[in-house]
Amino acid sequence: MSSILYYALATFEGPLMAIRWFNQVAHNTSWVIGHVHSGALGWVGMTVIATLYYMIPKLLNKELFSYRLVKIHFVLAHLGVLFYIVSLWIGGIGQGSMWLALTDYGSLAYTFSQVLDFIKPYMLGRTIGGGLYVLGMLVMVYNLYMTSRSRIELAEQKA
């Protein structure tokens, strides 16, 4: 379900770039990276995660080691994606606005260094989000590894 929501979000963001004024502000900024990663980490990533949690125990014919770890992974992954993309969206819009700002004489109001200084905290948010996402993936690897080592087999299903 969560991957479908990220898919819807990424699908909404694409046509948003067709609006001229928005495209002017967001194009070639961190906003676009946030958009792409909402689809990559949110939609595709969550789909792959769900598939692995479903398929690995079935293939090994074993009970999943810990459903609690799945919930922890789910929370870490979602927080990671949200920190990541929201930081890039906000930083990207600010970045684009600064690049479009002109002085009364028609020159750029902000230097490249000033724009980089502005987006530093948003890059920190991106780093924190990526770290949370990777931490969640490590929780999944541990959970699936322990599932493979488990001796508890799936209960036989009667047809």
Domain boundaries, the chain: 2-149
- The pTM score is 0.89
Pick from 15-29, 85-99, 145-159: least confident: 145-159
Residue 72: per-residue pLDDT: 98
Enclosing H/E stretch for 78? helix 67-100
Residue 156: per-residue pLDDT: 62
> pLDDT of 52-62, one tens digit each?
999 999 999 99
* 3 state SS of 31: helix
